[in-house]
Structure 1
């Protein structure tokens, strides 16, 4: 058997096992998406299953990709808050929101806050809330298959309170959760 058969997709099961082996090696996964269509189709979901994690500390371009999938009404609201239309109007090859498997509310909010602070300006709480709620709605609509869901309830933020109704109205969204973590923090005691 030649190596070209593996790369051409003649053995997709073996190729999938190889790609799964690289699950946490992001630089290798990025290289895999350049090999051919099969490898790309297998590697992209692994790269997008947890985009809000610390593995992308400086790059928040994935938020723009998610925003490009929003409906026109939400994009219009974003424009009114000062978000440039060029940032949210791109064509994508995949339905990235459907690949989400790990959601951590705190990481999502931090990523959105950093993105907004960098591109729009500071003190844009309503914009952060709009993006957060829109992304959560999009993940629910695209039937993301969550494996892990982490929530930090803090008296400083009421973002979760604003979206709990979405989660409760869509039980299929949380159906396959294997790891649910709920932490309650009282910000009065935080220094």
Structure 2
């Protein structure tokens, strides 16, 4: 069967089957996307399925997401004292569309680290800086949720950082954007909702509104295989 596919011109299909075995080997996949255009076209989607989980100090993928914003939203970067002309250049791929796995807590950590590095403020202890990160995060979420046809397979809403008193604001932002695009959930197979019991007091009255929103999530999950609420 493999030989017949080779002689009938199915090299891309065979190559992709091979690359899938390297799914979690990001270093090797990075090398593969430098081989030629075919390998690049096949390896890039695998590299960008779950970029927030890659254990590296390189946060360039945040910049890539920002490049997918429309012009008006890009101009808002000046409000956060982020001046990078490369953010206004085009990308070879629509990278947000490759996203398959998303964890809200990992997004927050990635956005915070990139913002802290890129912003001239960089003061983690100031209220204004934290609010800026929260607002700036909206640009990332908008790029992922609203401006691209993202088809997630695994989605984890993780509200468990009890030491961050501004976490509720961050959650408000991301949940609001998600609910504006309910089709975002249509292909999700695994949905995990984590809310720390000790954190419910910090959420205050908003906890009821979040809980009431869970049926909205479930309503569009026709292909759901597993739902975990804890």
Q: Which range, TM-score by smaller chain?
A: 0.7 to 0.9
TM-score by length of 2: 0.72
| CA distance, structure 2, for counterparts of residue 131 and residue 183 of structure 1 | 24
Partner residue of 1:51? 51
User: Is residue 78–residue 127 contact of structure 1 (8 Å, CA) maintained in 2?
Assistant: no
Unpaired runs of at least 5, structure 2: 1-5, 202-230
User: Is residue 157–residue 194 contact of structure 2 (8 Å, CA) maintained in 1?
Assistant: yes
| CA distance, structure 2, for counterparts of residue 187 and residue 166 of structure 1 | 22
Partner residue of 2:112? 113
- Which protein has the larger Cα radius of gyration, Structure 1 or Structure 2? 2
Offset of 1:25 from its aligned partner? 0.9
User: Is residue 65–residue 140 contact of structure 2 (8 Å, CA) maintained in 1?
Assistant: yes
Matched, 1:129 2:134: yes
RMSD of Structure 2 on Structure 1 (CA):
2.2
Partner residue of 2:31? 31
Partner residue of 2:227? none
Offset of 1:85 from its aligned partner? 2.9
| CA distance, structure 1, for counterparts of residue 123 and residue 156 of structure 2 | 26
Q: How many residues align?
A: 182
User: Is residue 104–residue 157 contact of structure 2 (8 Å, CA) maintained in 1?
Assistant: yes
Partner residue of 1:22? 22
| CA distance, structure 2, for counterparts of residue 61 and residue 128 of structure 1 | 17
2:158 to 148, 152, 159: 152
Matched, 1:171 2:188: no
Partner residue of 1:90? 89
| CA distance, structure 1, for counterparts of residue 80 and residue 199 of structure 2 | 28
